[in-house]
Structure 1
């Protein structure tokens, strides 16, 4: 019996498969809502990666999105989005079968599972997409620190919202394509003769059809736009003239002027794929990004040497405990972590 459990991904010593799979279902639900502890995240992702759990994983995915339908009974379903989700789940199941035959790498399996899980998570985090619009009201989406989500606007445009961000738009969206943003979002805008506008505290981005990233953070007094496809126009009441950006360009509001530059767009858009990329970024900036990403608080000791430490690398689905260990590879820092307060204290050695 233990051999069977081991083959199916059940740790040895657990004699009741039903109890174990009930735990996996609970962890999977927490995983979709981005509320796992680092240890739970590691446990559920390891379980999902085992090919012996394919059928059980597919059943969990179906169960989760069927649960959303029951919760939203009595409301009209967005059938286009619903079909997209069902297709994604079918593609995941087919891709797993193909990988069994072709012996693809583990990383491809991980990508297929995570992409599908993110789509299911979108249902859990954003059930408002299944509700009828009501005239005169606004639809507002708020993503807490430590979570990310994806949504589809009424015109078919897609939006990825990063941690600690809020997006709102009128239910009369089809008449005037406009959204308000606080935080960071990536937009893939459906082409139309009607302009698409993103309004923020510090300025506005206007396009007709393109893909771009907008970052606006009030505490940091930051407004930044990075274009991946097409052309956008950025405006701000602080600057007399608007700036036009093309693919591969970035505009950053600095005082009363635009600072334009050619950039590697992946550095600014990879977050929507679950990656954080650092290129010679100092520790204070790294700490700010990690705080939002993992929903923790990082306190740096008042030591000027800490501000001179730079990091280059890519984080991809690492648990927070793994990230802390990666930060220590410089051999220059020590840290303490309070699990109850979720505060990390970093000091120089």
Structure 2
């Protein structure tokens, strides 16, 4: 840490900075190998057959929590360590006590040699998980991918990064899967679906899984609506310096839009649904139109609530004003009994 505290890199040349980065990467991969091996032993000592689980002895619910607390990492990084440990650990046979080979033995060797880190092992493990090619095909892919990670592949290419290794592993997975994408597509068609939960605190929870073509179409719709046509708006929290002496009614570029990316996509989805409603099949002879009702006196006084057809929870008057601004207003007079006068 002395090099970090003294800001040594500031005095280095460009080549020396890159060399320092590469050396730190090698140290990081070596440290990750120790982390993966220790995580594997934590998993073995927290197994169901153990009399006293290691996780229980340290007051943790799971291996993931124990790894998080000891490494001070996030849940995602702990999950990656566990996934890498699962395919590189060497289990012990319960009957003979013999140490068995790892699920991906060559990737284990590459991890121990510092040629690949946790990201690379996880990339290969995820791509080859559930591969129908059998153990022979998986071991062949393991050997070739480990050689590529060391820069000793058939094409003599330099060692790849984790993303490039993931692409190579996906190619191997497609090669070993003789049935192609049809079984995966069948499972996807069976699991697809979207559900809209009940309204809680003014929000509906939307959950589900969509097919790739639906996801891409939705992203394209978001991009078309959110395509920036003016100068980019700075992120929230970033200082904005403006120099203008001319008074104008238009908002400044830095103050025009403070919505987050998720909020913008929500509003873009509302715009897409409103545009598509005109071409959808009719309901009772009319297009599927959003109807918001509010009493005239409530709208004039600014007090009260509005109601959306199909939703039991009342909404604010601003929703009625927003819908009226974007759509149409129709006055309906009711008598004291709630019937049309």
Normalising TM by the smaller chain, what interval?
under 0.3
Name the TM-score, length of structure 1 as normaliser: 0.24
Greater share of strand: 1
CA radius of gyration, larger in: 2
Greater share of helix: 2
Q: Which has the higher contact order (CA 8 A, sep 6+)?
A: 1
